[in-house]
A and B are shown apart, each in its own frame.
Chain A
Amino acid sequence: MHPRLFFRPERCMLCLSCVLACELNSLAISDAREIPRGRRPLGRIAMTFSRGTPWPRKCQQCTTAPCVEACVTGSLVRQEGKAGILHRPETCVGCGSCLLVCPHGAPSYDEREERMFKCTLCSEEEAPACVRACQSRALVYREPNLFAWDKKKTFARELGRVHEGD
């Protein structure tokens, strides 16, 4: 199975490094001071904070994706070799059907280019920019079975520690 993006809210400090990294990535720059004046960069991850819990709003890379079904130009496709939905900007007309059907509100509208955009897990790169930027490892890019396995091991270890006191 291919890696997917997981979020652990108890580790999130709301530093927004992930948001910044995604924006810089979209402009293909590495220094925030190079952001062109007056131009709001495209962000494909947004941090929200609700009732004490942080949560990143981003594309969940659904296995059965409503956006792929809804896209009128076929610009959204399942990626070969990666567990993600690829958005092809060249053929996108910006109709917003994908946004309409997405239960997460993941796609956004790019006013400059007059088309949609969304997270593609930084398909050109080793690991997503947001994950590389996260200092507390709240964002994790891992194969789902391995992620589940890590969680089970941690739980077992904690359980063992609790019972050591018995």
Chain B
Amino acid sequence: MSLFAGGYAGRILYVNLTDGSIEKRPLERDFALRYVGGRGFSSRILWDELSPGTDPLSPDNIVILATGPLNGTPTPSASRLIAAAKSPMTGGLGDASSGGYFAPELKYAGFDAIVFKGRSPDPVYLWVEDGRAEIRPAKRLWGQRIHETSALLKEEIGDEDIHICAIGPGGENLVRYACVVTDEEGVNGRCGIGAVMGSKRLKAIAVRGSLDVGIADPKRFKEGVDAYRETLSGEVWTDVLRKLGTPNLVAHRQKLGIWGAKNFQRATIDGWEKISGETFREKFLQKVMGCMGCLVRCRRYSAIKEGPLAPTYTKGPEYDTINALGAKTYITDPAVILRAHHLCDEYGIDEQTAGSSIAMAMELYERGILTKDQVDGQELVFGNGEALLHFIEKIPFRKGFGALLAEGTKIMGQRLKADYYAIHVKGLEVDASDPRSLPTRALTYSVATRGSCHLRGFPYIDEFIKPEEAMAHFGTTAVSDLQALEGKGKMVAWSENWITLANLTGLCLFAWYRSRTFPMLIRRGLELVSEIYGAATGLPMTPEEFFRCGERVYNVEKLFNLREGLGREADYPPERFFREEMPDGPGKGSKLRSEDYERLLNDYYEARGWDKKTGVPTPEKLKELGLS
């Protein structure tokens, strides 16, 4: 019986895979109010219950699937699930999110989160249904790709409507960047959470629920949700996403010249039109799809029906697909990109890291650091789609050169004595774009708590904030100047606390974060969401307290990383960005200046209330957040 009037299910499932015991622990009111849900729960549980120095692929690591209080309620786009663990890629905090239908279903089954500990002696899956859970043998499923795994599970359980989180051969073979695939569509891609599941012999989690997710104050809730939906209807971003999906960003990246193409040796792509959002829509799109309760509907379902790579049917592609498998490897054949994407999803490996690792190997090959007989006899040059597809098939099974590729760029750099060409922060590859022309972006990607990530902060504020708003909020009009450095540390820090809130509630960023005005970021992201939260859960939550939760969670994550030995030296972008200038495009000639970055980092630490030299949160800051 939940002690919450709504929103939360009120229970966290603890599963010990070593001895097979399952425990249902109540969600404490205080815990919920301080950490809200999602990444808040997973980060705090990892801080509390994981010993520092744990080997991420040992039985002592913990995997957590966490929902937010708004999953399962009629809030628009409240579909996101967080999967978290200590990352085998960074040795620090790891988490990844996905959309779809799993998180709401887990709430309907009566649980806010599942915490997995230990290691099962044999492959198993967890079956969760209406308030109870059961560990079941997964011998038949082990070795299967994602598609077969889903089909077999649906057959075994006898229900087409179950929702599934699973790993593929990639996770089973402990590919360092193996991922978790949800319902064959959504992927908890980064940080190697799939490898941790594989190390626990946890093949899948299947869930079906028919319980209610309560709403404490239906009238107030409806008013909040209607206002929220209203703010989304006017957004240009919504229409663009529905039409082209995230691939709409291809044209934008080309225009600004901020690709990390050819392993960050080129900033623009010749023939980029062949892999634009428009091209993918025209040539391959079968259906526009969406997640639970979402009016944006950015998902794609595509098919290759002609040519040597037909037939291929797959969800996607996303912008990140095109970036990792196309831009980084400099491949402009869209069918190759789509096929590689499909294989990554089927085998359960993160396409970001796969593409980045192969791109790095391509550069090393072109420079003569890798020879042909080292790379399976492949002509491993940029633009070779055949080589890309060859290695995507090898990585999940650690075959041939795929065995080294399966480790990711950081370890490849160490083993091949080629660290300079490994473009990552803390061990997680730089994904979004080349930040050399905008140092604020470099700061955002480098201080992110899970490694290089463009969604841990929101530095784009300086693109549209007005000078008077910048003065009011950040104490200087410089924040509205794209090129200025003053005040940007503070801006990034604020944006991190703010953007974390989406990951706490279960809301999707795409329906939450884009806006043409700064006041809307506050109105929608802070005011309306805290209002909806209060109406759903019946718990008191002001926008200020809500913002404070974001800051609190972020600080817990920083503490976790510090405890694992990731200090100030890990908050830097790759050396390449300081040494080499952008070779082409509008940003040609730009590179990061050391003194600029030091200044930004110092300002950021100061704004966060962390020690300037070490990045350790000061006792005052911890006290302020109730963390001492």
Contacts and interface: CB of A to CB of B under 8 A. Distances in A.
A52 B210 contact: no
B240 interface: no
A152 B302 CA distance: 29
Contact of A51 (B210, B289, B297, B313): B313
Contacts of B290: 13
Contacts of A51: 286, 303, 311, 313
B286 to A, nearest CB: 3
Interface in B255-308: 286-287, 289-290, 297, 301-303
A52 B287 CA distance: 6
Nearest to B303: A52
A38 B313 contact: no
Nearest to B290: A13
B287 A54 contact: yes
Interface string A34-60: 000110000000000001111000000
Contacts of A54: 287
Contact of B210 (A14, A38, A53): A38
Interface string A79-98: 00000000000000000000
Interface string B555-581: 000000000000000000000000000
A62 B453 CA distance: 56
Interface in B299-337: 301-303, 311, 313
Contacts of B297: 13
Interface residues of A, number: 8
Interface residues of B, number: 11
A52 B284 CA distance: 10
Nearest to A12: B287
B286 A14 contact: no
Given A38-B210, A52-B301, A14 B289 contact: yes
A46 B210 CA distance: 18
Nearest to A54: B287
Nearest to A40: B210
Contacts of B313: 51-52
A154 B628 CA distance: 70
Q: Which of A37, A51, A52, A54 has the largest number of chain B CB atoms within 10 A?
A: A52
Contacts of B210: 37-38
A63 B93 CA distance: 63
Contacts of B286: 51-53
B158 to A, nearest CB: 12
B292 to A, nearest CB: 11
Nearest to B288: A13
A13 B210 CA distance: 23
A54 B287 CA distance: 9
Contacts of B301: 52
B129 to A, nearest CB: 11
A51 to B, nearest CB: 5
Interface string A131-162: 00000000000000000000000000000000
Q: Which of A37, A38, A51 has the most CB of B within 10 A?
A: A51
A106 B313 CA distance: 27
Contacts of A38: 210
A52 to B, nearest CB: 3
Nearest to B287: A52
Nearest to A50: B313
A53 B285 CA distance: 11
B335 to A, nearest CB: 16
A51 B287 CA distance: 9
Nearest to B302: A52
A52 B289 CA distance: 10
A78 B559 CA distance: 72
B601 to A, nearest CB: 47
Nearest to B297: A13
A37 B108 CA distance: 13
B528 to A, nearest CB: 24
A14 B287 CA distance: 10
A52 B303 CA distance: 8
A144 B286 CA distance: 27
A83 to B, nearest CB: 29
A141 B313 CA distance: 31
A54 B301 CA distance: 11
A38 B289 CA distance: 30
Contacts of B302: 52
A159 B401 CA distance: 55
A35 B302 CA distance: 36
B607 to A, nearest CB: 44
Contacts of A14: 287, 289
A13 B290 CA distance: 9
A50 to B, nearest CB: 9
A38 B130 CA distance: 10
B63 to A, nearest CB: 30
B150 to A, nearest CB: 13
Interface string B222-252: 0000000000000000000000000000000
Most buried by A among B287, B290, B301, B313: B287
Contacts of A53: 286-287
Interface in B126-169: none
A47 to B, nearest CB: 10
Nearest to B314: A52
Interface string B115-129: 000000000000000
A52 B210 CA distance: 28
Contacts of B311: 51
A54 B311 CA distance: 18
Nearest to B285: A52
A134 B272 CA distance: 40
A-B residue pairs, 9 tightest by C-beta: A52-B286, A51-B313, A52-B301, A52-B287, A52-B303, A52-B313, A51-B303, A14-B289, A53-B286
13 contacts: A13-B297, A14-B287, A37-B210, A38-B210, A51-B286, A51-B303, A51-B311, A51-B313, A52-B286, A52-B301, A52-B303, A53-B286, A53-B287
Given A52-B286, A52-B287, 17 more contacts: A13-B290, A13-B297, A14-B287, A14-B289, A37-B210, A38-B210, A51-B286, A51-B303, A51-B311, A51-B313, A52-B301, A52-B302, A52-B303, A52-B313, A53-B286, A53-B287, A54-B287
